[in-house]
Structures are given as C-alpha cells and as structure tokens.
C-alpha cells in the first residue's frame, strides 16, 4: 500500500514482494480484505501509541495555552506526516469499506479526546463562551487542514499544496488566537 499509494494490489503481489507463497498468505487471511483489516489495525495501534505519547509529552511540557497549542499542532502534524504513506490509502479505502471506516473513527476519536483534554487543562485561559465547543472546533480545524495537506481525503490532488512549516505556524497562530479571543 505504501509503495503504490493505494490498496490496488493483489495477494499475489504481496506474496511476491514478501517472498512467500500465496498459500502461506491464505493460511493467515481468508481474503485481501481480511489482510487489509489486520494491517490497518497494526498500523493504527502503532500510530496511535506514538500520537498519544506525543500529545502527552506536549501536555507535560507546556506552561501555558499558546505553548500547548504550538506543541500539539507539531505533535499531530508530524505524527500524521510520519505515517502518511500508510494512512492515506487506508483513509481512501474507508470511503468504501465500513470496517476500515469504523476502525479509523475509533482511533481518530482517541486522538481527538487526548487533544481536547490537553487543551481543556487551560480552560481558564480559553476566552470563548463555551470552552468545550471551542477546543472541539480547534481540533477539527487542525486535523482537517493537516489531513488535506497530506492527501488523506478524496481530493488527493490538493495534497502538498503550500509550505509545510508555514501551514503548521499558521495553524498554531490561528488556533491560539481563536481560543484566547472573545470575538
């Protein structure tokens, strides 16, 4: 999947690349879909462990809300970027595979919960009328902008537009300003 950027491969391709017999693959998986579901679970478990670890490190290192926003955006962006080659085809497949979609949503919810929980530590500094709503919106904006940049959605032609560093800096500034503004 990472080499092709999609899930357009056969089990024969996997056998050849892995230098194993097609029979050995069928001994472990009943179908390509079953193999993809197992791969997704392994990828997301590893990805999630790294993501949650980086979010917790950001939370522990921050001494105020603006600093936390910077470190959270960096943690999310770089973790998603590190795994983009595997996440991209999985997220595209989620459009047609309900099991892939459900598994992905579960792990997304864990990331969302961790980021929102970290931000709400500084709820007294959040000047929006509803801090819970504000951090929810902030998370969705951060994730959507990064996902679009990395080509995780259906509009893969939009991937890699602009400068990565500028995207992160602008997200950091926008989110910090939004959370600390009364407007």
* pLDDT for the residue numbered 75: 97
* pLDDT for the residue numbered 154: 56
Rounded to two decimals, the pTM is: 0.82
The residue length of the chain stands at: 183
* pLDDT for the residue numbered 23: 81
Q: How many domains, the chain?
A: 1
| 86 lies in some domain | yes
Give the C-alpha distances (Å, rounded to integers) separating 6 from 14, 32, 34.
13, 13, 16
| 16 lies in some domain | no
pLDDT along the chain (183 residues), means of 10: 63 74 77 75 87 97 97 97 87 78 88 98 97 98 93 64 91 98 89
| 8 lies in some domain | no
| 83 lies in some domain | yes
| 10 lies in some domain | no
Q: Which domain does 54 fall in, by range?
A: 33-180
Query: What does the alpha-carbon distance between residue 170 and residue 183 come to, in Å, rounded to a whole number?
Result: 19
* Residue 125's CATH number: 1.10.357.10
Secondary structure of 35-99 as H, E, C letters: HHHHHHHHHHHHHHHHHHHHHHHHHHHCCCHHHHHHHHHHHHHHHHHHCHHHHHHHHHHCCCCHH
| 106 lies in some domain | yes
> 151: helix, coil or strand?
coil
| 4 lies in some domain | no
Torsion of CA 119, 122, 125, 127, to 10 degrees: 40
Do the beta carbons of residue 55 and residue 112 sit within 8 Å?
no
| 55 lies in some domain | yes
């Amino acid at each position: 999947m990472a080499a092709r950027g999609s899930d357009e491969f056969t089990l024969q391709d996997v056998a050849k690349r892995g230098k194993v017999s097609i029979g050995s693959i069928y001994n472990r998986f009943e179908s390509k879909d079953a193999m993809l579901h197992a791969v997704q679970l392994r990828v997301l478990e590893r990805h999630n462990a790294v993501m949650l670890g980086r979010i917790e490190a950001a939370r522990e290192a921050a001494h105020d809300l603006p600093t936390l926003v910077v470190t959270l955006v960096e943690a999310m962006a770089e973790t998603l970027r590190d795994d983009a080659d595997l996440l991209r085809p999985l997220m595209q497949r989620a459009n047609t595979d309900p099991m892939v979609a459900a598994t992905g949503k579960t792990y997304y919810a864990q990331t969302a919960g961790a980021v929102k929980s970290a931000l709400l530590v500084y709820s007294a500094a959040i000047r929006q009328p509803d801090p819970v709503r504000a951090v929810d919106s902030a998370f969705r904006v951060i994730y959507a902008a990064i996902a679009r940049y990395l080509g995780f959605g259906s509009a893969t032609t939009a991937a890699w537009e602009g400068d990565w560093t500028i995207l992160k800096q602008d997200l950091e500034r926008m989110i910090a300003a939004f959370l600390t503004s009364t407007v």
